[in-house]
């Protein structure tokens, strides 16, 4: 559990009705008008309820009274709560979007958040596993031991073969997989659609699961639970963690780790950065560029280990 999730989240009933009304309008705005994902809406909602709670503590009676010092106080409060710089930066990003919305709504005369500096964040390189470790995880579901071995092998294969997010795998539908063309249609963040090539082996595992083990359910998702319901993102996470433990992998591995491995493998074998960006569904190529640093680090480690003057 992260520091942010360990905090008690203020409820709507504990906040001024006017503030709650503007918050709900903002959350609808970023999802409907801006096309941000439901998970982003949820995270911003939590961040902004904390912000509104801090405003209450400072006796701010109306959002029209918000000033830079109130936002600075919120940033200080977040830091003193032991939150990571990245979480504080995300909270500030939510407040900035909210302030710009309040300007649009003519609640604030100007954007009072524009002069607030973001905390410096340490950009950690993503965890990347060796080929041998990935193979051990992919092979971990065992027939006769795991009730959903066919399903889980297919899920692991799709995560690694396509670089999809856990939420994207959970939302996958049979019509999204074209085994003949070797591609998958992915509905990513903000409802943006992309086409990703997929290895025949991964398609075979999905087809085997659908033919032999998938039971008809209420939903039309590919991957279903024991009760026939579509799996959630959290379910995919727990499935991956189960087989990471089975494979005796000590590193903190999640579905996103397999996404990191997918990207790094492509770049290390000569794929261009723009193509990898498109396959991952990154809006900004700067997000994809972190994998060039990962691969450079790997090459340096190899050089140091094997070069006589390393």
Catalytic residues: 165, 189, 256, 259, 282, 291
Q: How many CB atoms lie within 10 A of CB 54?
A: 19
Concatenating the DSSP letter of every residue in 123-180 gives -PPPP---HHHHHHHHT---TTT-TTHHHHHHHHHHHHHH---HHHHHT--GGGEETT
Question: Exposed, middle or buried: residue 108 (CB in 10 Å: 0-12, 13-18, 19+)?
Answer: buried
Strand partners, 197: 183
Give the Cα separation of 293 and 126 in Å (integer): 10
Specify the long-range contacts of residues 73-77, CB closer than 8 Å, at least 24 apart: 74/50, 75/116, 75/119
The answer to whether the beta carbons of residues 243 and 152 sit under 8 Å apart is yes
Q: What is the C-alpha separation between 301 and 133, in angstroms, rounded?
A: 18
Give the number of other CB atoms < 10 A from CB of residue 18: 13
Task: Report how far apart, in Å, the C-alpha atoms of 289 and of each of 127, 188, 275 are.
Answer: 15, 19, 12
Q: Residue 224, SS3?
A: strand
């Amino acid at each position: 559990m992260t520091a942010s999730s360990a905090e008690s989240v203020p409820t709507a009933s504990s906040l001024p009705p006017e503030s709650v009304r503007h918050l709900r309008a903002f959350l609808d705005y970023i999802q409907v008008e801006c096309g941000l994902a439901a998970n982003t809406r949820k995270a911003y909602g939590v961040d902004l309820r904390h912000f509104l709670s801090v405003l209450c503590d400072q006796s701010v009676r109306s959002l029209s009274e918000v000033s830079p010092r109130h936002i600075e106080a919120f940033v200080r409060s977040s830091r003193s709560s032991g939150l990571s710089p990245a979480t504080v930066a995300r909270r500030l990003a939510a407040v900035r979007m909210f302030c710009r919305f309040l300007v649009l709504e003519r609640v604030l005369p100007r954007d009072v958040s524009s002069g607030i500096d973001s905390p410096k964040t340490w950009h950690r390189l993503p965890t990347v596993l060796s080929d041998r470790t990935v193979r051990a995880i992919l092979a971990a579901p065992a027939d006769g031991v795991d009730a959903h071995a066919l399903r889980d092998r297919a899920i692991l294969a799709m995560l690694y073969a396509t670089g999809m997010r856990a939420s994207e795998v959970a939302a996958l539908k049979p019509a999204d997989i074209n085994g003949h063309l070797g591609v998958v249609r992915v509905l990513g963040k903000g409802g943006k659609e992309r086409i990703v090539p997929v290895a025949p082996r991964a398609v075979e595992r999905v087809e085997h699961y659908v033919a032999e083990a998938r039971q008809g359910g209420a939903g039309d998702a590919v991957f279903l639970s024991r009760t026939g319901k579509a799996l959630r993102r959290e379910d995919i996470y727990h499935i991956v963690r189960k087989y990471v433990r089975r494979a005796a992998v000590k590193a903190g591995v999640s579905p996103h780790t397999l996404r990191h491995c997918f990207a790094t493998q492509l770049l290390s074998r000569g794929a261009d950065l723009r193509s990898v960006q498109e396959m991952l569904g990154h809006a900004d190529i700067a997000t994809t560029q972190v994998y060039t640093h990962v691969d450079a680090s790997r090459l340096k480690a190899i050089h140091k280990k094997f070069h006589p003057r390393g």
